[in-house]
Amino acid sequence: MLETEIKLNQFMIGYCRMLVGDLPDERLAEQPLPGVNHPAWILGHLAFSGDLAVARLGGQKTLPAEWTTLFGMGTKISSTRGEYPSKAALVEAVEERFAKARELAQHATAEQLAAPTVSTNPMLRAGLPTAREGVAFLLTCHLAVHLGQLSAWRRMVGLAPLF
């Protein structure tokens, strides 16, 4: 039912791999300017949002509970690299959670997708009133916003743009 969103998500996950492929693990918490989301937080937040999409589609969340305090909406970002999982763990979590979300989205029923949004955020409830819109947002727009931040971060630290 969400064929276009699934295809776009696959494309964006490939772009994510490109953006982080040449990043050394030790640089993932660099903040070139105060308040800039760094790669460790972006990747963790994307995995967290993939986990939300999985849960919204009836699957089980599998990320450790501490990822909510590290990567959930409104979390405070630290420039201390040791406070975040390894690059390998972050990338694996992004890929696995979105692969599971795509699998569940492929088999979602009309009834599941018509369910009301469960977010506590009033803007999300108003703008994305059903699971269909919420999951579509997480698979595409939300992912693209944060990959744009990652692309901008690369430029801020002197790395070449990739797209």
Segments making up each domain of the chain, as ranges: 3-156
Please give the torsion angle defined by the CA atoms of residues 23, 54, 145 and 17, in that order, rounded to the nearest 10 degrees: 30
Q: What is the CATH number of domain 3-156?
A: 1.20.120.450
Q: Which tokens in the block code for residue 43?
A: 């990747």
Rounded CA gap, 96 and 118, in Å?
Answer: 23
| CA separation, residue 128 to residues 16, 117, 120, 155 (Å) | 25, 7, 12, 32
pLDDT lower than 50: segments of the chain: none
Q: For position 118, what pLDDT does the model report?
A: 84
- What pLDDT is stored for residue 160 in this prediction? 87
